Structure 1
Amino acid sequence: MVSSPARPIRIGSRKSQLALVQTHWVQGELQRLYPDRQFDVQTMSTQGDIILDVALAKIGDKGLFTKELEVAMLAGEVDFAVHSLKDLPTRLPEGLILGCVTEREDPADALVVHERFKEHQLETLPEGTVIGTSSLRRLAQLRHHYPHLQFKDVRGNLNTRLAKLDAGEYDALILAAAGLQRLSMADRIHQLIPAEVSLHAVGQGALGIECRAEDPEILELLKALEHEPTSQRCLAERAFLRELEGGCQVPIGVNTAIADGVLTLTGMVASLDGQRLLRDQVSGPSNDPEPLGLELAAKLKAQGAKEILDEIFATVRPEA
């Protein structure tokens, strides 16, 4: 009796250029590791891809870039989905889990400038320089450190944003270094912004692969792509964000490092105007990362983080 070939594995992805580059990397790695299996990519548009004329924070961020993919997984139409981990909510729908975290690219924010500002660094940009960002986290931190700069919302994929910069609509942009690197645009990075100025987004630079909780075949396949140090760092970051009840579009930033089995997590919460910025740090065993996130969240709540976040939610979130 001849056994039937194993079924094709269906990978869900957004249609954006960066999403496809990331998904095809995962597809290629799995194909290399499992040459006898077939891995197919299925693409779809999410709400965050479709609504481009409204600031992200005004739309709300519950599954903004993930919901359609999650519906497809729960319906059995795709087997897992590849996300930029920073876009994946910390609370997932029942039946879905974070199955794998891949090795992280540089999670830093990057300054990209118009040609006329190439002689400047972030700290030397003149008063009134117009900087484009769609991130309240970046906005709050930069306002705190550089109140003399002007900020303007920017939406669209990476190529669209860069085209707007080159056309002179902005003097500079703040973007994730990892996205530029993955799209072979690292030459556009003018300056990596130090953590002292801008703590990065939770999960930034890592890929998160979401799948059905009760699918041992897929979970076993994904194990091969797991990068334990990145996973430990990101689990601590996500626990911190989840405990603060923050989403992707709030001014919450983090930084993590592991040395000799000790994970150090730094976190911050800021008001939108940058006037109030709370920042603290905790350390503990890297093999038990989530309690560190909870501990740091409690420390910042004791310093007034919840009041700052409640104020922001009331200001920027859409009505229910």
Structure 2
Amino acid sequence: MKEIDLKKLHTNQRLLVEELKKRGCETSILDDDIELLEVTYGQHHEFLLDRFTSKVPHTLTAITRDKYMAKYLLRRAGLQVPEGKLFDGDQIDAGITFAQELGFPVVIKPNWGSHGDDVYSGIESEDELNYAIKQMFLTRGEATPFFIEKYFEGKEYRIFITGKGDFAAVHRDPAHVIGDGIQTIAELIQAENERRMNPRTTCLCPIAFDEIAKQYLQKNGYSENFIPQPSEKIYLRLTSNVAKGATCEDATDKLHPSVIELAQKALHVFKGLPYAGVDFLTTDITRSQEKNTYRILEINPNPGFAMHMKPGNGTPRNVSQLL
């Protein structure tokens, strides 16, 4: 076993290890490649893989990562999720027919995945849907099961919730730039990425200027050479994953009690899961939630800590201590 070099751990695991050390836990690394750690405290012994411990049942991890099954269970419990359907890789025509019946705009995403990879949101036509499916197949293969669901207009939040009732929340705003009347969109992205990463002091990641971002700009009548007016806000995508460049602001004190109740209910659907990150869309986080004002998008059994502990704006919340 080797001593842990905290600088070599990815951010979320490092934050947890730092909290363990504060509490007098002995930690050592067993495998550098997968970041498998061994932790002891008195007579208690744990293996730590990423943030997974013996407290997180493997069965529930598998169920929550299956977007179709997770949504089915949430809906069965009376929670609001986007209306949608799962399709196999050879059911493109059936998927397009379903989207037409459902009504555009829609969202397409692979049934398994994270960080917003290959998620296309706000699709408004059959041509756009065909393009998104083909792009997803290029990166994941034509056998990839995919989900088509109704697009819901609202602000997106990640709610960290525990079985004991502890919680924290951040608002994630999709990647964007703010104009200065001088620089192009491409130059603003470069400058913002430089600001975020040198030095890096928050959870914010570089803005991903990928094919999805370029297509979104084009769809809205912009190019990377466009010069926004001073204070003009130009979005680069609709999905709000921090890994793709979304901003992140603490919203813990803004949550209406009904939001916390819904997050708790969502967690309890997966009996035995001690904590989770709930991706929550709402028209207003400060008001009592009704059936038509919110949607639960996903349940993450391995939620990130950095967005709460080192948000781009707002009060840091030490969620690692809750574990």
What range is the shorter-chain TM-score in?
under 0.3
Q: TM-score, normalised by structure 2?
A: 0.25
